[in-house]
């Protein structure tokens, strides 16, 4: 299976305590490591520096083989290359105000949450590409319990980069244990994540980890109450199908055709996806539990579970990106919002007129 995990000296820059559904790669470790150990396990024990960029004044002589002979080296003002110090790989180009957040700083963010790491469990970390992007998942103490036996683990997920693209992002990301299903959704009016810009204050802001801890604490409690309520709200198979159709809709045109009953104008690709999600909703063993069978919680889990456990992706990295910050996350958020509205307003939440 193809992937883009960074390799150094024949070793994947990735580790995993136990294989999650979205992580099919990495070194397996028997014990949860400390942050210092995790950095080494994941191949993240490298530093990145900003190096000046230069170009050449092209009034020089071109040799027989096309090589440049002579000419003047000119600095590129206000722009720098980000370079790994261990193997000198160039990771990207950044501006003068860009501050590098070293990999160790990202782990310090997690350590600060629980005062030195007591209780937080580093489970997965890795570098992608040449090491320009890194990610960390860490398990928090405690569980979200739905019903008597349906348990949800609480995770924090962080991703950052060294190539000048994207913010440092940290998010509260619960995972339903029975199917390793990521429930990556935000409540209405407040996010499940924070974004930190690569500026001069980025390292200081990373140390303000209590912000995310406050988010995860309040969301964990709120989510437990919400999902337990959903597990008590019944929904018919027909309503589940309609919810799936709406949640999996890729654009307004599809929603318009659904509202007008123009089934013939729906693409085969879309209808096949809907059928696959619906089949998972009614047929998966994890959908036959007391908490999920014929319930709104089951309807929500059907859509998130489809991406986690059924949908085919080009490679593990593509799956990971879709679930954490792509199409799968977007569809899951839409499903979350629909389920919340259905639990409050019933079938009226599924009308498109």
Q: How confident is the model at residue 199 (pLDDT cuts 50, 70, 90)?
A: confident
Residue 189: C-alpha distances to residues 186, 192, 326, 348 (Å): 8, 10, 20, 22
Q: Give the C-alpha separation, 177 to 154, whole Å.
A: 10
Q: Are strands 72-84 and 90-95 parallel, antiparallel or unpaired?
A: antiparallel
Q: Which of 124-133, 242-251, 272-281 has the lowest mean pLDDT?
A: 124-133
Using only C-alpha atoms, the chain has a radius of gyration, in whole angstroms, of: 24
pLDDT at 121 over 90: no
Q: What is the mean pLDDT of residues 213-239?
A: 92
pLDDT score at 17: 45
Is it the case that residue 318 has pLDDT exceeding 90?
no
Query: pLDDT tens digit string along 24-62?
Result: 544 445 567 778 888 888 888 999 999 999 887 665 666
SS in 3 state form for 53-85? EEEEECCCEECCCCCEECCEEEEEEEEEEEEEC
On the question of pLDDT at 171 being above 60, the answer is: yes
Residue 57 to residue 298: CA distance in whole angstroms: 65
pLDDT tier at 160, thresholds 50, 70, 90: confident
pLDDT value of residue 16: 43
3-state secondary structure of 330: helix
From 174, 286, 277, select the one nearest 226 (Cα to Cα).
174
Name the 3-class secondary structure at 349. helix
Q: What's the pLDDT at 141?
A: 83
Q: Is the pLDDT of residue 184 over 90?
A: no
* For the ranges 105-109, 215-219, 263-267, the one whose mean pLDDT is highest: 263-267
Judged against a pLDDT cut of 60, whether residue 118 lies above it is answered with: no
> In 3D, which of 165, 166, 52, 168 has the Cα closest to residue 102?
168
pLDDT in tens, 94-117: 998 888 989 988 888 777 765 554
Whole-number average pLDDT of the chain: 84
Supply the pLDDT for residue 66: 66
Domain ranges of the chain: 7-46+99-212, 231-350
pTM: 0.82
Question: 107-116, 266-275, 296-305: which range is least confident on average?
Answer: 107-116
- Using pLDDT thresholds of 50, 70 and 90, give the confidence band for residue 241: very high
In this prediction, residue 142 has a pLDDT band, given cuts at 50, 70 and 90, of confident
Nearest to 157 by CA among 204, 216, 207, 219: 216
């Amino acid at each position: 299976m193809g992937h883009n995990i960074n390799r150094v000296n024949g070793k994947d820059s990735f580790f995993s305590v136990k294989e999650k559904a979205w992580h099919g790669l990495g070194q397996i470790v028997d014990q949860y490591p400390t942050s210092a150990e995790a950095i080494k396990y994941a191949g993240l024990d490298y530093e990145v520096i900003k190096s000046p960029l230069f170009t050449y004044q092209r009034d020089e002589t071109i040799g027989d083989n096309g090589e440049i002979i002579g000419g003047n080296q000119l600095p590129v003002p206000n722009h720098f290359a980000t370079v790994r110090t261990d193997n000198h790989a160039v990771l990207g180009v950044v501006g003068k105000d860009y501050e590098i957040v070293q990999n160790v700083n990202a782990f310090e963010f997690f350590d600060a949450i629980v005062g030195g790491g007591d209780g937080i469990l580093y489970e997965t970390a890795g570098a992608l590409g040449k090491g320009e992007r890194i990610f960390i998942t860490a398990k928090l103490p405690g569980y979200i319990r739905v019903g008597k036996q349906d348990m949800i683990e609480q995770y924090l997920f962080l991703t950052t980069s060294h190539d000048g693209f994207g913010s440092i992002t940290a998010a509260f990301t619960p995972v339903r244990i029975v199917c390793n299903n990521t429930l990556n959704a935000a409540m209405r009016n407040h996010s499940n994540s924070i974004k930190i810009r690569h500026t001069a204050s980025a390292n200081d802001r990373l140390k303000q980890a209590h912000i995310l801890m406050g988010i995860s604490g309040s969301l964990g409690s709120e989510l437990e109450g919400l999902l337990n309520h959903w597990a008590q709200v019944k929904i018919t198979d027909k309503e589940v199908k309609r919810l799936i159709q709406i949640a999996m809709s890729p654009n307004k045109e599809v929603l318009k055709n659904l509202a007008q009953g123009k089934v013939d104008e729906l693409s085969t690709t879309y209808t096949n996806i809907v059928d696959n999600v619906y089949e998972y909703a009614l047929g998966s063993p994890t959908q036959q539990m007391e908490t999920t069978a014929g319930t709104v919680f089951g309807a929500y889990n059907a859509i998130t579970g489809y991406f986690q456990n059924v949908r085919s992706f080009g490679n593990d990295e593509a799956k990971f990106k879709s679930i954490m910050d792509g199409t799968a996350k977007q569809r899951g958020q839409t499903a979350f919002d629909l389920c919340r509205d259905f639990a409050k307003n019933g079938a009226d939440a599924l009308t498109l007129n």
